Amino acid sequence: MRAVTHPIRWTDGAFGFLFLAGLVMGLVQRRRFEARGTIDQASLFDRAILIYLAQVGLLTTAVLLKIAVPDARGLAKLDTHGGAISRSLRILLLQLRAPNTAILPLCAVLFLGAVVVLRLLARQQLALALFGSGIIFALGQLFYRFWSNSAVGLGLYFYWPSWQLAFTASLVIGWHWESRQISVIVTHARTLLIAGGVIAVGDLLGGLAHQGTVWGTTVAPWTIPFGEYNLGFGAFILGVAVLVVAYNAARFALAQQNLKVGAKFLERLGTRSLACFVISSLALFVQVAFLPYPPNAWWGALMTAISLALGWLWATWRQRTTRLR
């Protein structure tokens, strides 16, 4: 799966996941605001709480597996030292890091922050929303080392002061998706050409930096804006460019009759994205606990296929039970 979510250097599936989540959230909340005059704050709080509980459940499962299989290499970085109370407290505070779960705590934090951004958008205070997000981003970049090692960082793997800018941008785009015809702009040939050029240049620079051939250094200072975990501005622009191309590719696929089956499969997974994520994470825990985990191992591909199938079955069952209510 890493080859799928990291096809281009300095891009990450986490960026696409969060950006699309924010875009859809902004779009849905705008429609609700136009229909009822208010945004649905309760659903945002509920979603953040649900994500938190999902993360607690995943961390608990990972800790139990690590205790049961102490030699599990795939869980080697999971710190299970201390007594039951100490472990429980670190789980509740999300201070442990299990494989494939770093994105969930970030989502919980950003979903809570989305309430503030959406309230500003509902009051037509777009400039204030962007200014506030930009200030947080700038301060986060200037004081990265201090914030990341202090309580401000919340102990998260991803650095939220930087990632919140991308999420705010996605909320704004989703909010104005229909009113300002952003979908038309995104599908314009010139936009697609620019996005393709950005991706090509970004991937080329990434390859040169990886080989240490740029200015004769292996860690060039100019690569800092392309940082993944602190989401530098370069990584943000490159991520948006990738999503523009992906959006147009998806539109093309949906227009092809023979590709609609695959699109429907992905759409079904998307309706229960959190549940599918939890299922795939549990499958990964089991795999890394009992099997070695080289990226090209056949059982890794098999477990990925099984988790996708289980996710689709769960989404299908939930869809049918919801209709019966």
- Residue 251 belongs to a domain: no
289 and 167 co-located in one domain: no
Confidence bin at 90 (pLDDT 50/70/90): confident
Average pLDDT, the chain: 79
Task: Give the rounded distance of the alpha carbon of 7 from its chain centre.
Answer: 15
- Residue 58 belongs to a domain: yes
- Residue 235 belongs to a domain: no
Compute the average pLDDT of residues 223-246. 79
* DSSP output for 5-70: H-SSTT--HHHHHHHHHHHHHHHHHHHHHHHHSS--HHHHHHHHHHHHHHHHHHHHHHHHHHHH-T
How many domains are contained in the chain?
Answer: 2
Q: Are 56 and 89 in contact (CB under 8 A)?
A: no
Distances (CA, A) of 144 to 93, 150, 158, 163, 219: 22, 10, 12, 12, 18
169 and 57 co-located in one domain: yes
177 and 83 co-located in one domain: yes
Of 183, 207, 226, the residue that ends a domain is 183
Predicted pLDDT at 4: 47
Predicted pLDDT at 162: 85
- Residue 11 belongs to a domain: yes
Confidence bin at 133 (pLDDT 50/70/90): very high
- Residue 63 belongs to a domain: yes
Of 139, 168, 183, the residue that ends a domain is 183
Compute the average pLDDT of residues 43-53. 90
- Residue 14 belongs to a domain: yes
Compute the average pLDDT of residues 162-189. 89
- Residue 255 belongs to a domain: no
Compute the average pLDDT of residues 176-188. 85
28 and 144 co-located in one domain: yes
Q: Is 111 exposed, middle or buried (0-12, 13-18, 19+ CB in 10 A)?
A: buried
47 and 154 co-located in one domain: yes
Confidence bin at 63 (pLDDT 50/70/90): confident
- Residue 210 belongs to a domain: no
Range of the domain at 50: 2-183
Of 183, 215, 237, the residue that ends a domain is 183
34 and 160 co-located in one domain: yes
